[in-house]
Chain A
């Protein structure tokens, strides 16, 4: 099932590659196949979710086969409560991103959609692989399609941004590879569950291993101060690229912390928690402040990601079930809300070819439907209760206030909560500059309101914004037992110095 799900998009890739020899590579055929493949992948992931047993904390749908026996490397796939939401997020965001590319991508369409589908394979593999080596291959693999997407279909400084994205992430990954090889070779297995059971063996060097993994993930998230690649990559990437980057790729970092750092290096996780929480909170405040001062709407959204991801990290390192579950959910929420925000900027950019907020103003009068939907997305990103962002943020703050890993936890929480004020500051400022004010620029009077395809994408985002905001119980149910199991398991190997 999981192998089928992960590699299903390859069928679409195959079909796309066959189009050219068959001389049927019309635009609609290319887009049709890409959308069809991605939609089917989404349906498969929903089928997976329906069969998923929420009360079982362990890995499910496990597929295991020996791969390189001499080194103890396996083909090991499995899904549990930590990864299933991420898988779902991947299939949703990929589908929406592919639909969103419909009219935005005008050159080399075939290659573009091939890369999109390949990227989807890579992302799914990252969330499903349970063998460190396999994980690493998927992890690095996702870089390649993204690198080309930025480098070929990106903005003016695309090459610079693509290289920076690639090198920055790669540099972090190398340390992780070192850590992976060390653990795999000394334990003669790369299987994560086995390594967790045998974590005593490398407990004495866990600080170093934690750092090896942690820096790779910190760059991906990105945690302040490792965020320097993000504004470049986001602003230069095509709309769909930004949607996927914010929606899914950043979550690979937060997912990595939960999947690997917490269970493999529990003591180091507790010891590093204050440092990471401080960096996360700096990220919340710093990201928000820098976002506020931007002139470019896309860059503003990019910096807002740093702020939002700070919340996710704080939740994870609160090390209690409210914090971790809130963190996972907020990761999902951020995928939806920021994905939607990037899409919104894309809709405007496609028509006006500018992302500078000063070029807009008064758009509300020309695009009332689009503006109304945008407002809801902005409010979701601001954490208005009743919409998705609030549920995640609140759970995280709830968790962080009672975090045993942070002392005094209330100080951390109070600082993090200022993010709530700052989010209103920069998001409303953006909304005002683009949509409110007088309609002075003649160019803006020619804007058309969104078409049916764009409306569909917006509504798809809104479904999740409202659903998670009003009735998030199913989401917590799915994660609950795995997260509880993870924390119990961690607590057995942790010595806490009482605050």
Chain B
């Protein structure tokens, strides 16, 4: 049997992990914490490693299969034969999905180990690992699904896990009594749903265009239609014989790809739906590391890279979204603006995790921009290196926070005093941790240098490939030049804020007693850091460029590109000259690399110098506050403020108005009770009184009397004779009907 047949196991292992911890975990941990934590944590970790092992087998199997993709059919899902709609549970094993799986299970397994150390002693230890296994399950569905609909299952599923992990410490309140963790989780889910709204529409439109939701048939059909130059017929209905709407392929694809972009901005935290990610840092740090840095947030990048054919055809069709921008151009611009915007905000953050969160948003912007420029391999390359060094940075930051918390406890224990506003995540209370936490410091430094794009660390290579692509193709595509400039500036900013962070956290003197008493975290936490640091150094080898056209090491020559070209149809299209696509240079562009490296070094050293002894206390101004607009605009998180103070407040006010004054006071009470009921009762009373007082029996006919009498009962019913009220109406109604229908009845 082919190794690819093992694919379902990668989903089964995490499910076993979920069931184990959901059913028995709490019982284990509650009976004996020490043994229970071991079982709970290591069982989940074992399942993650088991999935990783299977993924490695899949990668080997794919190689033996000469890189041909394999569809593993599981069973039917939504089947509506009368609508020709067939959705099935199936996995697509190709080089792209296996690459993603390797990242997810590889980094995921390491983070599992780290979590055992980090979550030690938490009351809900097993619940945490339930979520982590559940996350792996959904993330693997996301990257392995063979259709947009199955991808969407994973997409929403990881969103759910993100929600659960962000609000993991749901009972926490801040000093104003706000349930910040629960709120942050909900914000993440809701903002993501705005993106999902677009994805649902895109999926439906895709179905009407191609009559299927499976990736490969869609792409093949799209190419065929493109080559034939025919138009697409949407919404034809055979039953009613309506012809439907005829539109050009380019138009449809532009709409679909634009909607996918909106979805990607939600999940991958791009402008303007990025507002949830900084808040998401409320979750446990290893979860931030896995979900909100390394894997889940790259789902949007994966979606766009997976749809590479659709984006390239949309670009080639020349159909524009606004101005002269194709949907791919919009993708590139959104990514580049996000990269720059978030990098600037990172300048103004004091929370160690928030800096990394904005940095993640910024780096995701690089990936999205790369995908938008058609540099799909570079996007995935950066995704991989970023997964390593950003997971590393987050976990090392977690270790720092852990150290600070322990220091804080120690100080309190010894009767010392610390600042009452002390916050273990605030960098202004840190300083000098370099010597106290060496096993955390060195990996952190490597991660920071990799992120800053310093030669020869991983980030340098992947970032440079994106910049080289932008620079090399800027003559042919109108937005590439501006994207190139924005990304270069963002890269420079990255080096600056990382220098600031390094200096504030690790150098100088401890600025709080807690920092003075901080000490190193357990091995369970530092060994994973060392492993990731190793990859932070060497991951550039995965797609090392050539130098002047010759490979440095023949064995590692453009591994990733050669591997991914079997999954990315655009390569085939370019080779067969079906359409023109932008090419990524295979050799190192000395000028591009030189400029970006020089700028990064300047920013790094400049930042390092600028923060040599600043800021010393919380009141001490930050040196960059002199830059006009930086703190007054970016520092105030304009879009987040717009969301929280604008949209959320307006929505609250409007819905409360709708539910209170409109729905209840007006529609429920006034119209129904005052207008309809009371007027009816008054009318009935009037009738009854007229009859009683003047005895006009002879004038009003029989039906009238009966109705009036019954209506008189209605008044009584207000004091509780409900049954007679109802009965009277019923009988009255029957009589009215008899009256109206009399002609029919007698006419026969």
User: Which A residues fall within an 8 A CB radius of B?
Assistant: 147, 151, 159, 162-164, 166-167, 170, 174, 177-178, 181-182, 185-186, 225, 228, 231-232, 286, 289-290, 292-294, 319-322, 325, 362, 364-365, 368, 372, 379, 384-386, 391, 394-395, 397-399, 401-402, 404, 409-410, 413-414, 417-418, 420-421, 424-425, 428-429, 432, 435-439, 470-473, 476-477, 480, 483-484, 487-488, 491, 494, 496, 498-499
Contacts and interface: CB of A to CB of B under 8 A. Distances in A.
A70 to B, nearest CB: 9
A472 B78 contact: yes
Contacts of A292: 655, 659
Contacts of A166: 726
Given A420-B197, A494-B240, A290 B655 contact: yes
A164 to B, nearest CB: 8
A162 B723 CA distance: 10
Interface string B726-740: 100110010011001
Contact of A321 (B83, B660, B744): B83
B654 interface: yes
Interface of B: 22, 26, 75-83, 85, 89, 149, 152-153, 156-157, 160, 163, 167, 170-173, 179, 182-183, 186, 189-190, 193-194, 196-197, 200-201, 204-205, 207-208, 234-235, 237, 239-243, 651-652, 654-656, 658-660, 663, 667-668, 671-672, 717, 720, 722, 725-726, 729-730, 733, 736-737, 740-741, 744-745, 748
Contacts of B172: 438
B156 A151 contact: no
25 contacts: A159-B720, A163-B725, A185-B748, A228-B668, A289-B655, A289-B659, A290-B658, A294-B659, A319-B240, A321-B82, A325-B83, A364-B170, A385-B153, A394-B78, A398-B204, A410-B201, A413-B201, A421-B193, A429-B186, A436-B179, A436-B182, A470-B77, A471-B75, A480-B80, A496-B240
A424 B82 contact: no
B311 to A, nearest CB: 21
A425 B76 contact: no
Contacts, number: 203
B200 A420 contact: yes
Contacts of A421: 190, 193-194, 196-197
Contacts of A477: 79
Contact of A498 (B75, B242, B729): B242
Contact of B717 (A163, A289, A322, A362): A163
Nearest to A293: B659
Nearest to B652: A293
Nearest to A140: B730
B29 to A, nearest CB: 12
Contact of B200 (A364, A394, A498): A394
Contact of B82 (A364, A472, A480): A480
A325 B80 contact: yes
Q: What are the nearest 7 A-B pairs in CB distance?
A: A293-B659, A436-B170, A321-B82, A436-B182, A385-B153, A322-B83, A293-B655
Contact of B239 (A293, A320, A391, A438): A320
Contacts of B197: 417-418, 420-421
Contacts of A320: 83, 237, 239
Contacts of B725: 163, 167
Contacts of A225: 667
B79 A476 contact: yes
Contacts of A232: 668
A473 B79 contact: yes
A398 B85 contact: yes
Contacts of A409: 235
Nearest to B182: A436
A231 B660 CA distance: 13
B167 A231 contact: no
Given A401-B235, A402-B235, A473-B76, A181 B737 contact: yes
A62 to B, nearest CB: 24
A484 B171 contact: no
Given A163-B726, A225-B667, A425-B190, A365 B717 contact: no
Contacts of B77: 470-473
Given A365-B171, A429-B186, A437-B173, A391 B242 contact: no
Contacts of A186: 744
The interface residues of chain B, by DSSP majority, are classed as helix
A476 B239 contact: no
Contacts of B26: 368
A325 B176 CA distance: 49
Given A228-B667, A228-B668, A436-B170, A398 B207 contact: yes
Nearest to A143: B726
- Among B149, B171, B744, residue most surrounded by chain A Cβ atoms (within 10 Å): B171
A379 B163 CA distance: 12
- Among B78, B149, B733, residue most surrounded by chain A Cβ atoms (within 10 Å): B78
Nearest to B141: A386
B101 to A, nearest CB: 19
Given A372-B22, A395-B78, A167 B658 contact: no
Contacts of B208: 401-402
A159 B722 contact: yes
A236 B79 CA distance: 40
Given A414-B201, A496-B240, A437 B726 contact: no
Given A365-B171, A471-B76, A162 B667 contact: no
Contacts of B741: 178, 181, 185
Nearest to B195: A421
A363 B182 CA distance: 13
Contacts of B240: 319, 404, 491, 494, 496
Given A162-B722, A321-B82, A471-B75, A384 B237 contact: no
A226 to B, nearest CB: 11
Given A320-B83, A476-B81, 4 more contacts: A178-B741, A290-B658, A395-B80, A401-B205
B737 A231 contact: no
B156 A384 contact: yes
Nearest to B203: A394
A70 B717 CA distance: 38
A418 B722 CA distance: 41
A232 B677 CA distance: 15
A386 B22 CA distance: 19
A437 B170 contact: yes
A477 B76 CA distance: 12
A397 B726 contact: no
Nearest to A386: B153
A8 B651 CA distance: 50
Nearest to A419: B197
B656 A293 contact: yes
Contacts of A319: 240
Contacts of A435: 170
A417 B208 CA distance: 17
Contacts of B733: 170, 174, 177
Given A385-B152, A417-B197, A398 B157 contact: no
- Among B726, B729, B748, residue most surrounded by chain A Cβ atoms (within 10 Å): B726
Nearest to A414: B201
A488 B239 CA distance: 6
A491 B201 contact: no
A437 to B, nearest CB: 5
- Among B205, B208, B240, residue most surrounded by chain A Cβ atoms (within 10 Å): B240
A424 B239 CA distance: 36
B171 A439 contact: yes
A362 to B, nearest CB: 6
A225 B672 CA distance: 11
Nearest to B163: A428
Contacts of B205: 401
Given A320-B237, A398-B207, A432-B182, A438 B659 contact: no
A437 B182 contact: yes
A231 B201 contact: no
Contacts of B75: 471
A372 B736 CA distance: 54
Contacts of B668: 228, 231-232
